[in-house]
């Protein structure tokens, strides 16, 4: 999937509280993703708290626990393909679990899970100096924008 065509979104996040739930594998990349999400929250005027989980597989359960208490979730993780099918199991479980949290709780979940063939691909998307993309910020903007869309739906539409 190409990152070309990503929208540049201006959002007003004042009064909004996000839970940024971040995995802990691949710490350099995670540092970039977290910094990007926090930068986006700060620019939008939103509040956030950061929660670290061990791996991407643990993102959904903590997102689920946060859902009743926040306006939106930003889920961040990096999974790098190895030589076994483990990659597919972790990616599928994290993706399906986060989508389920969003729908079950009707809460926006910014999807900042990088699923990469190697570390170079992940670094290129981490919002670090020299990265081409900033997926942590994109995930936070997506959550904030979707909160605004949900709030704009007329009650009797």
Show contacts with ligand DLZ in window 64-83 (CB under 6 A). 77-80, 82
Task: Give the residues across from 55 on adjacent strands.
Answer: none
Is 86 marked active-site? yes
**Other Cβ atoms closer than 10 A to 3:** 12
CA dihedral 50, 139, 143, 74 (to 10 degrees): -30
Give the residue carrying structure tokens 């081409």: 132
* Closest to ligand DLZ by CB, 22 or 147: 22
Q: Is-contact 72 16, C-beta < 8 A?
A: yes
- Smaller CB distance to ligand DLZ: residue 122 or 137? 122
Length of the chain: 157
Q: Specify the residue, 11 or 109, whose C-beta has the smaller distance to ligand DLZ.
A: 109
Q: Which stretch binds ligand DLZ (CB under 6 A): 3-11, 34-42, 49-57, 99-107?
A: 49-57
Distance of closest approach, residue 58 Cβ to ligand DLZ, in angstroms: 5
Binding-residue total with ligand DLZ (CB under 6 A): 14
Closest to 3 measured CA to CA, from 151, 131, 89, 120: 131
| Nearest distance, CB of residue 25 and ligand DLZ, angstroms | 4
Q: What angle do CA 111, 26, 11 make, to 5 degrees?
A: 30
Asked if 86 is part of the footprint of ligand DLZ (rule: CB under 6 A), the reply reads: yes
- Interacting residues with ligand DLZ (CB under 6 A): 23, 25, 54-58, 77-80, 82, 86, 90
């Amino acid at each position: 999937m190409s990152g070309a065509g990503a929208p540049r979104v201006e959002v007003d996040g004042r009064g909004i509280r996000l839970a940024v739930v971040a995995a802990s594998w691949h710490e350099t990349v995670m540092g970039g993703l977290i910094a990007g999400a926090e930068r986006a929250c700060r620019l939008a005027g939103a509040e956030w708290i950061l929660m670290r989980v061990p791996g991407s597989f643990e993102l959904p359960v903590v997102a689920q626990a946060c859902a009743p208490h926040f306006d939106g979730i930003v889920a961040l993780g990096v999974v790098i393909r190895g030589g076994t099918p483990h990659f597919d199991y972790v990616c599928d479980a994290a993706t399906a679990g986060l989508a389920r949290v969003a729908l079950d709780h009707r809460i926006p979940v910014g999807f900042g899970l990088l699923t990469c063939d190697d570390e170079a691909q992940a670094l290129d998307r981490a919002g670090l100096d020299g990265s081409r993309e900033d997926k942590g910020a994109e995930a936070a903007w997506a959550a904030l924008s979707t909160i605004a869309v949900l709030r704009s739906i007329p009650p009797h539409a």
